[in-house]
């Protein structure tokens, strides 16, 4: 499955591009129609798969995009840029560099871009500047942003046009190095681990998905769907990270409140906290449904499998499970807080009735005496 330690000389010429995806969770939602009125932007064209499918991927609301000024690195590399806005509150910056060279050059670039260049800081500056004009289209902007970054190494042509089995046999170890962003020769077990996460539809296309980078061997049009799905999967990870952080903070606040005491007055204060917790749960449910419904796969099982593989590798199911568990915990806490409040209210009402009876009895006896 992978090549042995005596790798062939780096004479193979590759042609393609390297894409850097940088995404930021900036607000609860973005009104794309309003945003179009504020900035010069276009609706992103939905890609269609090369393989036959009666119906394919359907986005509930396609993002809008605008071109950016090229980004010039200290090394002199000049990257073309684009910014995209998603209706569920994510802004994505995509930098792209055309590439031509051998495997060693690609591996070196992967290592340097993965570990040495802080693309996120440069992209954050661009996003903040863009949101100054877009502010009226944002719903509940966040002060602090979560971010995700991901690299895609898209190779369109390989000299000699190897078949996919030949590509894996001859250059599998190098593909693993690219995906890992590591210039060192990886162990066979690590190469095997990386190459397990691969998927192909035709005999001449390949996608190898890693947790922070992917290798695509396909034509420009053929790779469009994979790139869109990788971008969407990363944005979904970002959203679930946000929900996880939101629920963690809210649960910590509730636990602190419960630790302050369980007396009648403390229980009475639970009413407001229970209402706030319930509001958070409704917000999370609404936002989660929004993200889950943002994309549908209709009769295109290959794209569905590609997305499932990408989501699995970058950790979307793990964070979604964390959010689900915390939602269940929050729901149990909400029921407990409501029960405690109802007990306090019942006690207060009973005490009020007793006081009224005592007052009436006092007046009754005073009347009999006089």
* Percent of residues, the chain, with pLDDT higher than 90: 47
What pLDDT is recorded for position 15? 95
pLDDT at 102 (0 to 100): 94
- The 10s digit of each residue's pLDDT in 73-113 is 888 899 999 999 998 899 999 999 999 999 999 999 999 99
SS3 label, residue 15: strand
Q: Is there a contact between 341 and 274 (Cβ–Cβ < 8 Å)?
A: yes
DSSP 52-110: --SS-EEESS--EEEEEEEEE-TT--EEEEEEEE-TTSEEEEEEEEEEEE-HHHHHHHH
pLDDT value at position 288? 67
Query: Residue 80 in contact with residue 95, Cβ under 8 Å?
Result: yes
pLDDT at 88: 87
- Using alpha carbons only, give the angle 251, 253, 258 rounded to the nearest 5 degrees: 95
Question: Would you state the structure tokens that stand for residue 101, as one six-digit string?
Answer: 């060279």
21 exposure class (CB count in 10 Å sphere: 0-12, 13-18, 19+) = buried
Over residues 104-115, the pLDDT tens digits come to 999 999 999 988
Average pLDDT of the residues in 66-74: 91
Closest by CA position to 151, among listed 100, 96, 218, 199: 96
pLDDT in tens, 5-34: 444 445 679 999 999 999 999 998 999 999
Confidence label for 52 from pLDDT (cuts 50, 70 and 90): low
Average pLDDT over residues 255-281: 64
| Domain ranges across the chain | 14-232, 236-361
Residue holding tokens 């990870």?
237
Q: How far apart are CA 225 and CA 201, in angstroms?
A: 12
């Amino acid at each position: 499955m992978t090549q042995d330690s005596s790798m062939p000389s780096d004479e193979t010429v590759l042609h393609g591009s390297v894409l850097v995806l940088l995404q930021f969770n900036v607000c609860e939602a973005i009104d794309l129609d309003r945003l179009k009125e504020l900035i010069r932007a276009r609706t992103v064209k939905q890609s269609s798969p090369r393989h036959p499918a009666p119906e394919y991927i359907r986005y509930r609301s396609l993002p809008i995009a605008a071109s950016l000024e090229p980004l010039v690195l200290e090394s002199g590399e000049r990257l073309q840029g684009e910014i995209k806005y998603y209706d569920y509150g994510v802004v994505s910056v995509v930098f792209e560099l055309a590439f031509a060279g051998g495997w060693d050059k690609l591996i070196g670039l992967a290592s340097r871009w993965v570990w040495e260049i802080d693309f996120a800081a440069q992209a954050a500056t661009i996003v903040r500047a863009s949101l100054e004009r877009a502010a009226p289209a944002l719903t509940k902007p966040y002060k602090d942003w979560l971010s995700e970054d991901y690299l895609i190494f898209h190779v369109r042509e390989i000299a000699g046009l190897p078949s996919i089995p030949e590509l894996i046999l001859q250059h599998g170890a190098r593909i693993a190095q690219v995906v890992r962003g590591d210039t060192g020769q990886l162990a066979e077990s690590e190469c095997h681990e990386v190459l397990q996460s691969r998927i192909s539809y035709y005999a001449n296309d390949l996608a190898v998905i890693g947790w922070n980078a992917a290798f695509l061997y396909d034509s420009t049009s053929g790779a469009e769907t994979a790139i869109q799905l990788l971008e969407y999967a990363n944005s979904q990870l970002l959203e679930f990270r946000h929900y996880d952080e939101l629920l963690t903070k809210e649960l910590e606040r509730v636990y602190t409140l419960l630790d302050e005491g369980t007396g009648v007055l403390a229980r009475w204060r639970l009413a407001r906290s229970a209402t706030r917790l319930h509001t958070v749960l409704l917000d999370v449910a609404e936002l989660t449904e929004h993200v889950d419904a943002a994309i549908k796969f209709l009769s295109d099982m290959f794209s569905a499998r590609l997305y499932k593989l990408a989501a699995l590798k970058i950790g979307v199911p793990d964070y979604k499970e964390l959010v689900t568990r915390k939602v269940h915990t929050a729901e149990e806490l909400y029921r407990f807080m409501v029960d405690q409040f109802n007990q306090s209210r019942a006690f207060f009402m009973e005490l009020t009735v007793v006081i009224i009876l005592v007052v009436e009895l006092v007046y009754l006896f005073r009347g009999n005496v006089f």
